[in-house]
């Protein structure tokens, strides 16, 4: 079996396992959504508190975008350095060696 | 301001850091197994993850926020199922971006880098599912 098919099989098996475990545990384990939503989903809070939490969430997303941008700049400069030091190889050289 | 930084740190930046480190570890391991063993290959794999992973995590946070604003009244379970295609689309964008960046930086075969990008992302996505499930079980016991 090729490595791509093995990766697909692994992904399918893992997803199936997590969905099955999710129903056994009677909890939603596919995504840790209570964690993602916890800053904005607190139904018993007053409307103005919920609005403030929404604002925190929006501001945090903006801050996170800035951090992502900083990581991307570091990654891009590393890639540029790799590109400069790499000579072009035969178009499918890795394919040949992996057969 | 302190509360904002505290919320951003614990709800966004720490998970983002954990996701980035975990993804790099898993994807470097996959690259080694697939024959990408030169130092520059491994640096390139780490670098493409620095470019794509934080943006994917950020886009997922943004999607949660926008979906909650738009259809939050439907409830958390419906929101979750609406998130699934969004997350899959984000992963496909990551595969495409990593393939193009690896092909550009390593100047090597298109098919080999596409296969590498697909297998790396499928494996790290599956590992993320398991890690998320374990974390959800530990953090929200029933």
User: Measuring CA to CA, which residue among B53, B58, B60 is closest to residue B82?
Assistant: B60
CB pairs under 8 A between A and B: 208
Question: Chain B neighbours among A 6-35 (CB < 8 Å)?
Answer: 7-8, 10-11, 14-15, 17-18, 21-22, 25-35
Say if residue A44 is in the same domain as residue A78. Answer: yes
Reported as a single tens digit per residue, the pLDDT across B92-119 is 999 999 999 999 999 888 899 999 999 9
Which residue's structure tokens are 């898993």?
A: B26
Q: Mean per-residue pLDDT for B23-29?
A: 95
B133 lies in some domain: no
A60 lies in some domain: yes
CA–CA dist A8, A68 (Å, integer): 28
A93 lies in some domain: no
Say if residue A46 is in the same domain as residue A75. Answer: yes
A96 lies in some domain: no
For B37, the token pair is: 């063993």
| Counted domains in chain A | 2
A17 lies in some domain: yes
Say if residue A45 is in the same domain as residue A70. Answer: yes
| Counted domains in chain B | 1
Contacts of B60 in chain A (CB under 8 A): 36
Q: What is chain B's length?
A: 142
- pLDDT (tens, 9 = 90+) of chain A, 99 residues, equals 677 788 788 888 877 777 776 666 655 555 554 455 554 445 555 566 666 667 777 787 888 899 999 999 999 999 999 999 888 765 555 555 554
pLDDT of residue A61: 84
- Could you list the residue range(s) of the whole structural domain that residue A74 is in? 39-87
Say if residue A48 is in the same domain as residue A74. Answer: yes
Taking the CA of residue B96 and the nearest CA in chain A, the distance in Å comes to 15
A18 lies in some domain: yes
Hey, how many other C-beta atoms are within 10 angstroms of the C-beta on A45?
A: 13
pLDDT of residue B97: 97
A92 lies in some domain: no
CB contact under 8 Å between B40 and A57, yes or no, is no
Are B99 and B108 within 8 A, CB to CB?
no
**3-class DSSP state of A43:** coil
CB contact under 8 Å between A97 and B35, yes or no, is yes
B13 lies in some domain: yes
B131 lies in some domain: no
A94 lies in some domain: no
A98 lies in some domain: no
- Could you list the residue range(s) of the whole structural domain that residue B119 is in? 2-124
Say if residue A56 is in the same domain as residue A83. Answer: yes
- DSSP category for residue A87: P
Say if residue A48 is in the same domain as residue A76. Answer: yes
Contacts of B36 in chain A (CB under 8 A): 94
Contacts of B80 in chain A (CB under 8 A): 28, 30-31, 33
Does the ipTM exceed 0.90? no
Question: Chain B neighbours among A 29-88 (CB < 8 Å)?
Answer: 29-41, 54, 56-61, 63-65, 67-68, 71-72, 74-76, 78-83, 85-88
CA–CA dist B7, B34 (Å, integer): 40
């Amino acid at each position: 079996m090729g490595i791509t098919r093995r990766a697909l099989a692994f992904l399918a098996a893992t997803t199936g396992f997590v969905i099955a475990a999710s129903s056994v545990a009677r909890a939603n384990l596919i995504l840790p959504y209570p964690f993602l939503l916890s800053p904005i989903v607190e139904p018993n809070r007053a409307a103005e508190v919920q609005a403030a939490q929404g604002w925190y969430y929006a501001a945090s997303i903006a801050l996170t975008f800035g951090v992502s941008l900083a990581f991307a700049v570091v990654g891009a400069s590393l890639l540029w350095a790799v590109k400069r030091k790499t000579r072009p190889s035969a178009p499918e050289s890795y394919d040949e060696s992996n057969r | 301001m302190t509360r904002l930084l505290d919320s951003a740190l614990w709800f966004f930046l720490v998970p983002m850091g954990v996701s980035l480190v975990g993804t790099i570890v898993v994807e470097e391991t996959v690259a080694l197994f697939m024959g990408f063993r030169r130092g520059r290959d491994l640096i390139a794999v780490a670098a493409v993850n620095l470019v794509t992973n934080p943006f994917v995590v950020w886009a997922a946070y943004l999607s949660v926020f926008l979906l909650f604003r738009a259809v939050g009244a439907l409830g958390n379970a419906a929101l979750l199922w609406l998130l699934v295609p969004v997350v899959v689309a984000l992963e496909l964008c990551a595969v495409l971006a990593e393939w193009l960046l690896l092909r550009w930086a390593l100047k090597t075969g298109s098919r080999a880098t596409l296969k590498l990008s697909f297998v790396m992302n499928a494996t790290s996505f599956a590992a993320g599912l398991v890690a998320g499930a374990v974390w959800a079980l530990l953090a929200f016991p029933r």
